[in-house]
Structure 1
Amino acid sequence: MGEGPLDTPWRRALPDTIETAAAGLSERLRERLRERPRERLREPGGRILLGLCGPPGAGKSTLAAELARILGPDTAIVVPMDGFHLATEIIRGTPLAERRGAIDTFDPGSYLSLLRRLRARDEDVVYAPSFRRGLEEPIAASIAIPRSVPVVITEGNYLLADVPAWRAIRGELDSVWYLEVPASVRLPRLIGRHVEFGRGEADAAAFARGSDQSNADLIESTREDADLIVVLRG
């Protein structure tokens, strides 16, 4: 693990949008970068690994992308946990196919191995998988993380889960920030995303209120372990 959390637990931000949240949160990251000597940031372990956690539809991917945009490509890169979805070929014909997105439909061991490689920082470039919406498949080696980049932002649902493999993942992260969004905002956003990527309206609503909500309940139960809770009104 790195040099300690980027924030004291239970400090809250109350911005109106993800964009205004990103502006303030990116400054927290810049402060941490300024605190570490440039030489320290080049060493193994000097890299900052930040996790963004929250239920489906909370805006994790959007906030991660906005933070990386503000900080710039030489400073920050996003590595999504979704790249470690089990492939369709693995879950086809099993009960997991109906619960895709649940905690047991990911490969935490491979995710942990990647985070440890990023923490070690002894390779010129590490390649990470992404997840292609629409295709609904992980794409191997599709994100390049050069050794020179000091901040890696990883976002996903289960970064705070109290399960051995996921506790080990949490141990590789300097801090985990939890995104909290009202259900009145999150659910329509989530349903819209499912429709955008091919589900019918009724199927999308049933999945969001069924399997997705079961996952959200588990994720929300982990919020007390976050280093910072970011409360977004919309």
Structure 2
Amino acid sequence: MSTTAELVARARRLAVPGRRAVLGIVGAPGSGKSTLALAVAEELGPDLAACVGMDGFHLSNAVLAAHGTQHRKGAIDTFDDAGYAALVARLADARPGDPPVYAPVFRREIEEPVAAGVEVPADVPLVVTEGNYLLAPSGAWPAARARMAEVWYVDVPDDVRLARLEARHRAFGKSTEEARRWARGSDQVNAELIAGTRGAADLVVRLPTA
């Protein structure tokens, strides 16, 4: 079991002023990876860390509809993996004095990505990026992983993860039945794929869930 303080201390060792490191945090939907990434970045503060999510590379609803994949939104093939890898390379290469890098964000209230939603100044030494597929062996995901100093896998019990997912889906407008069906259907298929990448992580993180 890890504490947030221990993880922040480990991340702090990557945040060397004058250099740039990218820390990846991966996990299945509902694992708490986004919460952990934000907590680490906030504890380090804006002079040392910025947070960039993989979810900004969701394909738009219009593109998903054109591909006939809107019902599988969140699956590995519904992201622009090459775009994400290119962004991670830009983030990893940035040095003090360079222009800032602007990254997209995903807005759950509209279920769409929004371009240039977060600014990453070049003098921030650590970028924390989080998402589902950072350790996936296919497509452009390995190119993104290659530019990360470390990748942590967030591991939580399935019952906790599913309860969180259902609550999230309800919070964003799905009925109780729709939330359950989505969490135990499409989300679960994705979770099983992501769980298969756990062994490639530099650190497996287990946090208290109570």
What letter matches 1:66 in structure 2?
A: A
Q: Which amino acid aligns with 2:48?
A: T
Q: Supply the AA of the counterpart residue of 1:174.
A: A
Counterparts of 1:152 and 1:80, CA distance in 2 = 10
Q: Secondary structure at the match of 2:69?
A: helix
How far the C-alpha of 1:89 sits from its partner, in A, is: 1.2
**2:131 aligned to which of 141, 152, 156:** 156
Secondary structure of the residue aligned to 1:214 is helix
Give the aligned partner of residue 161 of structure 2. Answer: 186
- After superposition, residues 89-100 of structure 1 pair within 5 angstroms as 89-92=62-65, 94-100=67-73
For 1:75 and 1:182, the matched residues in 2 are separated by 32
Q: Distance in 2 between matches of 1:31 and 1:93?
A: 45
What's the CA shift string for 1:82-140, capped at 9, x where partnerless? 00000111112543100000000000111111111111115321100010012111010
User: Structure 2 CA distance, aligned partners of 1:164 and 1:88?
Assistant: 21
Cα deviation, residue 74, structure 1: 1.0
Corresponding residue number in structure 2 for 1:8: none
> Structure 1: which 4+ aligned runs deviate by more than 4 Å?
none
Match of residue 86 from structure 2:
113
- Residue of structure 2 aligned with 1:28, choices 4, 7, 10: 10
Given that residues 134 and 144 in structure 2 are in contact (C-alpha distance below 8 angstroms), is that contact kept between their aligned partners in structure 1?
A: yes
SS in 1 for 2:140: helix
2:28 aligned partner: 55
User: Contact (CA 8 Å) 1:134, 1:198: kept in 2 or not?
Assistant: no
Q: Partners of 1:94 and 1:30 in 2: how far apart?
A: 42
Q: What is the alpha-carbon distance in structure 1 between the residues aligned to residue 104 and residue 13 of structure 2?
A: 29
Match of 1:88 among 55, 61, 84: 61
TM-score by length of 2: 0.95
Partner of 1:215 in structure 2?
A: 190
Residue equivalent to 1:18: none
Summarize the Cα distance change of 1:199–1:54 in structure 2 as closer, same or farther, 3 Å threshold.
same
2: distance between equivalents of 1:198 and 1:30?
A: 38
Give 1:131's match in structure 2, choosing from 83, 106, 111: 106
Partner in structure 1 of residue 151 of structure 2: 176
Letter aligned with residue 106 of structure 1: F
Instruction: Give SS of 2:110's match.
Output: coil
**CA offset at residue 232 of structure 1?**
2.5
Q: Quote the sequence identity (%).
A: 49
Q: TM-score, normalised by structure 1?
A: 0.85
Please name the residue that 1:10 is paired with: none
> How many corresponding residue pairs?
207
Shift of 1:30: 2.0
Q: CA RMSD in A?
A: 1.2
